[in-house]
Structure 1
Amino acid sequence: MTIRITRRLAVAALAMPALSRATLAQSTRSTRIVVPYPPGGTTDLTARLIAPRAAELLGQNWVIENRSGANGAVGAETVARSAADGTTFLYSNEVLTVLPFVQRNVPFDLQADFTPIARTVSVPYVIVGGTALAPRTLDQLLTAIRTRPDDFSFAGSSLGSVGQLATAAIWQKLNVTTTFVSYRGTGPAMNDLVSGAVSLFIAPLGPSMPLIRDGRLRAYGVLSAARQRVLPDVPTMVEAGFADMVLDGWTGIWGPRGLAADIVTRINAQVNQAAMEPAVNARMADLGLTPVAESPDAFARYIAAEIPRNQALVAAARIQPE
C-alpha cells in the first residue's frame, strides 16, 4: 500500500509541468531566511514581524538565521552561493546598494547574483544620543558639534548604512570630523550608545523608539521630509536648515540568482500580504515604519536607481573604501 501511494504522488508531481522542481523542494523542507546582521536591529526586527505570517500563508516553515559579519556581506554571500531551489532567502537592507562603494572586495554583485523578490519596509532615521549629553535640542547639538567636535563620537550600524552617509554629510556641512565607530549591526551600536561608550547614533527609528520612550535615549532630529507621527515634537533636519538631508532606509527579500519565476511570484504575494495585515501593520506603525508592497520588477527597478544615487552620495561625502 505504501508503495502505491508513493508512486501515485510521483506521477501526480510529474503531471504538473507548471510547478518547478524548486517549488516542490521548497514545499518539503524548512526555508532559511538569512538576516546578515545580529538580532535587535531593524532588519532583524522586520524579518521577525513579517516572516511568521508569510510562512503561514505559504504553508511552510521559515527559520530566521542571523549570519552577521563584514557589514552584511557574510550572510549575503551565503545566499548568493546557495542553490536556487526556494529554500534559502536573504532578508537585508539598503546597505547592499552602497557596500561596493565603501568596502573593498565585496564577494558578490547585487544585481547579478541575486533575484529581487520584494521590498518590504521603508525605514525613517533619527539622530539619537544618551540622556547625559548637555545639548537638549537639535540646534544646540549641531552648535556643540560645530564648536567642540572632539567631544562627540558617532556610532554606525555598518559601513554603507544610511547612518554612515548621514553622519558624513553632517560633518561636511558643519566642516568638522569626529570619531566614527562602525559596529556589526544596530543592536550592538545601541548597546554602546545607551552605556555612553559613544555619544550619538543616526539610527533606524524602529529599534530606537522603545529606548526613546523609556527615557534611555534622547531624539534630536529625524531625517525624513516631515516630522514622524510617533515623534511629533522632534524636528526634521530640513527644519534645521539642511534641505537635502532627507534620507531613509528600507528592507527587502532576495533569492539566489536563477530562482524560478513561480517561486518569486508566490513569495512576493505572500510577503506583501503579510506586511500589510493589520496586526503586522499596526506594530510597524508603532515603530514609525511603513510597509511596502510592490512587484519584483518594481523592486529591481528601485535597486537599479539606488545604486548610482548612493555611489554619488558616497563620493560627495568623501567616504573612502575600507
Structure 2
Amino acid sequence: MAIGTWKRRDALRLAAAAALGLPAAAQAQGGRSVARLIVPYAPGGTTDVTARLLSSRIAEGLGQTWVIENRSGANGAIGAQEVARSAPDGLNLLYSNEVHLVLKFVQRGVPFDALADFTPIARTVRIPYVLVGGANHIRQPDAKALLAAVKQDPNRFSFAGSTLGSVGQLGAAALGQKLGAEFTIVAYRGSGPAVNDLVSGAVSLMFAPLGAVQPLIEGGQLKAFAVTATERVPLLPEAPTMVELGYPDMVFEGWTGIWGPRGLPAEKVAAVHDATAKALRDDEVVQRLAALGCTPILESSGDFARLTEKEQARNGEIAKAAGIRPE
C-alpha cells in the first residue's frame, strides 16, 4: 500500500505497536489485531522453529497478525513470566515446551506456577528423543551392550542435558534409577553446546532431541542407540525403543504447546485451539514437521490440561528420587 493511502487509525496503530517494540512490518493490516506469541528461548531451536512454522497459519485462521518475540533466559522462565502477568485477552500467548512443567523442581525462584498461572490451549508437536553417543568415543556396538556397560561401570559415562529440566536430564536421571547407578549429568545452555561436547567426547551420552542430532547421526559423528518413544521412529528404524529393551517406564518425549495467561476465556481458548488444529492438518506443515522428526499432536485443550498435571507430578517424582534440587 502506498504511504499516501494509509489511514490515520493505521498510523496510530503502528505508532502504538512500535512503542511496544513490535516490528513495523507486522502491525495491524486491514484492521487485524496484533497478538504476541512469546517463545522463551533463543531463535533456531526446535521450539522456535516449530513456532515460526505454525504461527502464520494459526494467525490466518484467527484473522489476526501474530508477532513472534524471543524472550530467552532462565530456562524459559523470563518469557513465561511475561505471559503469566499479561491480561487474559488472547493477545499475549506463550509457545514453550515440556521444560515449562519441570522448572520448579530444578531452578530456584521460578516466578510463577506452571499450572495455576496459565491456561493450556493446545499442544502442537511431539519431539522424539534418542540416546546417542560420540561415534569415535563409545565403543559398545548396540544399546544392550551400552546399558550393560553403564550399569557395570557408571563412572565411565557422563550424560548431557540441553538445559536444567530437559528431557535429557530427566531421562538420564530415570535411567540411573532403573540401573541402580549414579553418573554425572551435565546441564548445558541449549542443545548446541551439549551436542558439540558429545561429538568431541567431553561428555559420553545424551538423550537428545532428534532434530538436533539427526544430521550428525547421518554423517557418522554420532551413533543412535535407542529412542524413548513408545514406538520406533521412522527416521531411525534400526534404533529400538527403551521399552523394547526392557524399560517400560522409560518413555520420554519432547513436545511444544501454546498457553495463555490464567483466566483466558473459553471462547478464546477454543478459537486458538481450532486454528492450531487446522494448521497441524495442513499437508505442507506435516511434511515440514516430518523433516524435523516431529509429528503433530491433535488433542483437546482438556487433554492438554490433564497431561500437564500428570507430567508435572511424574517430573517431581523423578527429580526427588534422583536427588535433583533447585539450583
Measured against the shorter chain, the TM-score band is 0.7 to 0.9
Q: Look up the SS of the partner of 2:81 in the other structure.
A: helix
For 1:16-27, list aligned pairs within 5 A.
none
Conservation of the 8 A alpha-carbon contact between 1:37 and 1:184: no
> What letter corresponds to residue 317 of structure 1 in structure 2?
A
Give the alignment partner of residue 104 of structure 1, picking from 108, 122, 137.
Answer: 108
Q: Which amino acid aligns with 1:41?
A: G
2:202 counterpart letter in structure 1 = A
Q: Look up the match of 1:12.
A: none
* 8 A contact 2:136–2:221 mirrored in 1: no
Aligned twin of 2:190? 185
Task: State yes or no: 1:312 paired with 2:312.
Answer: no
Contact 2:71 2:78 in 1 (8 A): yes
- The one of 280, 286, 311 equivalent to 1:281 is 286
2-structure distance, mates of 1:40, 1:238: 31
Q: How many residues align?
A: 303
Cα distance per residue 1:81-136 (max 9 Å; x no partner): 22333222111112222222222221101222112111111222111122212233
Q: Which moved more, 1:207-216 or 1:222-231?
A: 207-216
Instruction: Find out whether 1:290 has 2:280 as its counterpart.
Output: no
What SS class does the counterpart of residue 253 from structure 1 fall into?
strand
Which of 123, 135, 140 does residue 140 from structure 2 map onto? 135
Which AA in structure 2 matches 1:55?
A
- Structure 1 residue 280: deviation in Å? 1.0
Which residue does the alignment assign to 2:160? 155
TM-score (norm 1): 0.84
Cα displacement (A) at 1:44: 2.0
Moved over 4 A (4+): none
Give the deviation of 1:29 after TM superposition: 4.7
Aligned-partner residue type, residue 270 of structure 1: A
Could you tell me how far apart the structure 1 residues matched to 2:198 and 2:36 are?
31
The equivalent residue for 1:13 is none
Q: Share of identical aligned residues, percent?
A: 56
Q: Give SS of 2:111's match.
A: coil
What one-letter code is carried by the residue in structure 2 that aligns with 1:285? A
**2:251 counterpart SS class:** coil
TM-score (norm 2): 0.83
Deviation at 1:28, TM superposition (A): 4.3
Task: Report deviation, 1:76.
Answer: 0.9
How far apart, CA to CA, are the structure 2 residues paired with 1:238 and 1:298?
Answer: 24
Q: Which moved more, 1:269-278 or 1:132-141?
A: 132-141
- Paired residue for 1:73, among 74, 77, 87? 77
Q: Is the Cα–Cα contact under 8 Å of residues 34 and 91 in structure 2 kept in the other structure?
A: yes
Counterpart of 1:114 (choices 118, 130, 142) is 118
